[in-house]
Amino acid sequence: MSDDQPIIIVKRRKKPKHGHHGGAWKVAYADFVTAMMAFFLVMWILGVGSREQKAAIADYFKNPSMTAGSSMRAVPGVMGPGGPSSSMIKLGGSMDLPKGEGKDVRQATPGKSPTVDDVKLAQERDKARLDELRKDLNAALDRSQALAPFKDQLLLDITAEGLRIQIVDKQNRPMFDTGSATLKPYTVEILNELASFIDQVPNHISISGHTDSTPYSMTGGPAHYGNWELSADRANAARRALLDGGMPSEKVTRVVGLAEAVPFDRAHPDDPSNRRISIVVMTDEAAKAALQQEMQPRTVAPGVSLVASVGH
């Protein structure tokens, strides 16, 4: 080999070897598949589950404790222990309640008259319960496709007697057949839906029927049948529809017909909105007062006797 031959030097870069990936991607993929399966199951349950089952699932996630709650009202479909707290201040659920708290005033001190604080607390709970029911009804009106067309005919407000639910007539959408106490099919649907909500609270109800100022006369019927009789019959028809919707008859304290005596639109007494059904979910105090008025002992003046006459 000649000494003047060039020397060729070849440099080779060594590429760093990648570490072994292992099965990390498999774990991530398995987590993804599990999450998608869980999502599918949730959507399937929401699609096929009944209203009671959905309510029970929702109640469990509100308070999954094993201690029975003392909620101011029972959540529909509750099948076991748990439930939100009945305290006006504590919001941590039934586990935070001291022993004995959340009971009814009438049961808290048996044999003793309730104190002023007890009565005040009971009134506050009663008011909170009715206000919660009002919110639930408003939420139901917003999401219910069946009740959406009648949202402007359902009026909710809080009065001295309790939560008042008014179903008013519209010119092109009356609640009853003309001149009768026969409910329209959609009115029956509304009352059946309301029954499930009213039954969520232990409060009693009062039902009153109202007409407009137009004098009513039944063709071919008794001459004495007028707005008073018609409004009373319509209130009673509403009561029957609520019972058909699942509300127990014991909740009804009073059913009255007021004719045109209490107009909804005082400026226009003949307006269709004056024809309405008013359902009041009464406070405990109002319900007791209504019953006590009827249970007052009769006082008879001296020399006057009460004689019951029976027609033959």
pLDDT of residue 92: 36
Q: Using DSSP bridges, classify how beta strands 252-257 and 162-168 pair: parallel, antiparallel or unpaired.
A: unpaired
Q: What is the mean pLDDT of residues 76-101?
A: 38
**Termini Cα distance of the chain:** 153
Read off the pLDDT of residues 154-165 as tens digits, 9 standing for 90 and up. Answer: 888 888 888 899
Supply the pLDDT for residue 286.
Answer: 86
- Which structure tokens are listed for 234? 């319509």
204 by Cβ neighbours in 10 Å (0-12 / 13-18 / 19+) ranks as buried
Residue-level pLDDT at 251: 93
Q: Which long-range contacts (CB under 8 A, 24 or more apart) does 122-125 make?
A: 122/284, 123/283, 123/285, 124/88, 125/72, 125/86, 125/88
For the segment 227-240, what is each residue's pLDDT rounded down to a tens digit? 999 999 999 999 99
Determine the pLDDT at residue 296. 63
Residues whose CB is less than 8 angstroms from the CB of residue 233 and which lie 6 or more positions away in sequence, other chains included:
181, 209, 257
Question: Which residues face 206 on adjacent strands?
Answer: 254, 280
Contacts of 21 (CB under 8 A, 6+ apart): none
According to the model, what pLDDT value does residue 42 have?
83
User: Which amino acid would we find at residue 263?
Assistant: P
pLDDT of residue 1: 53
- Token couple for 69: 């709650």
Residues 6+ apart with CB under 8 A from 122: 104, 105, 114, 284
Query: The tokens of 267 are what?
Result: 């400026």
The pLDDT of residue 233? 94
Concatenated DSSP letters for 131-166? HHHHHHHHHHHHH-TTTGGGGGGEEEEE-SSEEEEE
Residue 311 confidence class, pLDDT cut points 50, 70, 90: very low
The rounded distance, in Å, linking the Cα atoms of 89 and 63 is 17
63 has pLDDT over 70: no
Distance CA(239)–CA(202), nearest Å, equals 17
Which band of pLDDT confidence, cut at 50, 70 and 90, is reported for residue 111? low
Q: Where are the alpha helices (DSSP H) in 49-104?
A: 51-62
Cα separation, 236 vs 166, in Å, equals 15
- The predicted-structure confidence for 256-284, as pLDDT tens digits, reads as follows 999 999 999 889 998 888 999 999 999 88
Least confident window among 17-26, 49-58, 75-84, 128-137 = 75-84
**Percent of the chain whose pLDDT exceeds 90:** 23
- Token pair 């009565």 in the structure block, residue: 119
Taking Cα atoms as reference points, which of 133, 172, 174, 124 lies closest to residue 156? 133
Please, what sign has the CA dihedral across residues 92, 97, 98, 102? positive
* Angstrom distance (rounded) from CA 183 to CA 209: 13
> Structural domains in the chain?
26-99 (no CATH), 115-294 (3.30.1330.60)
Instruction: Indicate the DSSP class of residue 218.
Output: -
Does the pLDDT value for residue 13 go beyond 80?
no
Average pLDDT over residues 43-58: 75
More confident call, 43 vs 111: 43
101 versus 186: the higher-pLDDT residue is 186
Residue 303 has pLDDT above 70, yes or no: no
Is the model more confident about 79 or about 36?
36
What is the Cα gyration radius of the chain?
Answer: 33
Residue 79 has pLDDT above 60, yes or no: no
pLDDT in tens, 277-293: 999 999 888 888 888 77
pTM: 0.56
